[in-house]
Amino acid sequence: MDAHPAPTSGVPGSALPGPYPVGRYALRLRERLREFARVQLTGEVTGLRVRARTVYFELRDGDGALPCAMWRDDHDRLGLPPGALVDGAHVVIAGGVDYYPGSRTSSGAFSFRVQTLRVAGDGDLLAQIALLREQLRAEGLLEPQKTLPRPALPRTVGVVTAETGEARHDVLAGLRRRGYTGRVVWAFAPVQDRHAAPRIARALQDLAATGAVDVIVVARGGGSVTDLLAFSDETLCRTVALLRTPVVAAVGHHGDRTLLDDVAAVSCSTPTHAAEAAVPLDAAAERGRALAAARRLEHHGRHAVLGRARILQRLARAPAEHVLRHRVRLHQLLRELRASGRRQLDGAARELRASADRLEGRGTSAAGAQQAARRARLDSLALALAAHDPERVVGRGYAIVRDADGAIVTTAAAARAAGRLQLRFADAAVDTRVEEPTSPEEEPTA
């Protein structure tokens, strides 16, 4: 503060310098604070708020707290993985204190201007958890629970949670929403300290050992990575992976992820959802549907019975009319049956006549062809016979020579031996006597 006296008088009796204008004092205070040594601090993050230009949080430990602010650009340059900087994370920050003097319309503010930071405890823990997750995955321990069958409506649901935690009430709310009326077996255990993991593992083993628990819910509310560390314990995860009873994990809130979520049969974001996952069948809805179906069945059954009763009443009042109506109907059906039979017989007869006509036509054609062939054959035989008829040969000037016995004489020696011959000409026969046969060389030429 400069040594110029204030324009107005001070408080009577006070030996302190001033009074000075507050704005000048605030600016001077900021200058002095900014001259304060730049330092590194460590503590736990609370009240984290990420804005467009600035990231705000409060750094705390068991002895004090300090409001902190960090430019958004400086924060983004750190490249932190999602979930690394959250409420409860242990960090080391580097920077110095700063003071905003305020104005006539705004209040002054004091904060630690963070230039850079490192996620200390949680960052190391997250790396260890990631390493253990890969080890469990390599050993195939992330899959066995997921292959276990889960009943749609378990008879008994086991629940591992803190006795006084809100998760217990959330699980009950989820079961009520499902309309679950089965048995719930509670196994209370601490859910946040170094004794929690073995107690939770023992509770799970005890519930599974009973043989009567069909599914087990492990529930806890949200918290920091450190708060949820028990649910990433290696022994607990190996215990869950080897259980033959399916486990539904509901640890933390939507953004939290522990190793128990990886090895469990089902991972849920809240204890309420875990209860609904443990009882997949919505018993309340099913009961409502069954009741509605029963009401519809009762309505339709009553309607059907009343309808039959009305029919019986009508029949009882007029049985003769009923019999007459059915007799008329029966006669009508008989007439229709006879007419149908006649139509079918007439059609069959027409078909038979048509078939006979077609066969007759085919027979006539075949007989005509056979007669023509036979006539041609007879004509050919007649011509051949005529060509060999001896009468026709005799007609051309030849004669048939026979002896006295009627035998055909074909040689001169036979004629000389016969002595008497008969010559058969075309018009008549002549008897003759053989004087001396003439040799062929002596026959006169024509």
Residue 232: closest CA among 271, 287, 191: 191
Q: Same CATH topology for 22-120 and 128-281?
A: no
Residue 222: closest CA among 173, 160, 289, 271: 271
Orientation of helix 283-317 relative to helix 319-387, angle to 10° = 90
pTM over 0.95: no
Find out whether 26 and 102 touch, Cβ atoms under 8 Å. yes
- 125 pLDDT tier (thresholds 50, 70, 90): low
Residue 31: closest CA among 97, 87, 79: 97
The pair phi, psi for residue 433, each rounded to 5°, is: -120, 145
The pair phi, psi for residue 22, each rounded to 5°, is: -60, -35
Contacts of residue 29, defined as CB under 8 A and 6 or more positions apart, other chains included, come to 99, 101
In the prediction, which pLDDT does 121 show? 62
In the prediction, which pLDDT does 446 show? 37
Tens digits of residue pLDDT in 310-362 = 888 777 776 677 778 888 888 889 888 888 888 888 888 888 888 878 877 87
Query: If you average pLDDT over every residue of the chain, what do you get?
Result: 85
Residue corresponding to tokens 């024509």: 446
Name which of 137-146, 264-273, 321-330 the model is least confident about: 321-330
Q: What is the CA angle 259-265-266, rounded to 5?
A: 80
Can you give the residue ranges of every domain in the chain?
Answer: 22-120, 128-281, 283-317, 394-432
In the prediction, which pLDDT does 78 show? 86
Tokens of 132: 């253990």
Q: Domain 128-281 carries which CATH code?
A: 3.40.50.261
3-state secondary structure of 39: strand
Pairing of β 64-71 and β 109-119: parallel
Tens digits of residue pLDDT in 208-234 = 998 899 999 999 987 767 778 889 999
If one compares 158 and 109, the residue with the highest pLDDT of the two is 158
Task: Please give, one letter per residue, the 3-state secondary structure of 142-190.
Answer: CCHHHHCCCCCCCCEEEEEECCCCHHHHHHHHHHHHCCCCCEEEEEECC
Find out whether 153 and 283 touch, Cβ atoms under 8 Å. yes
Query: Could you give the C-alpha distances from 439 to 413, 416, 422, in angstroms and in order?
Result: 10, 12, 20
Tokens of 355: 């078939």
- Asked if the 22-120 domain carries CATH number 2.40.50.140, the reply is yes
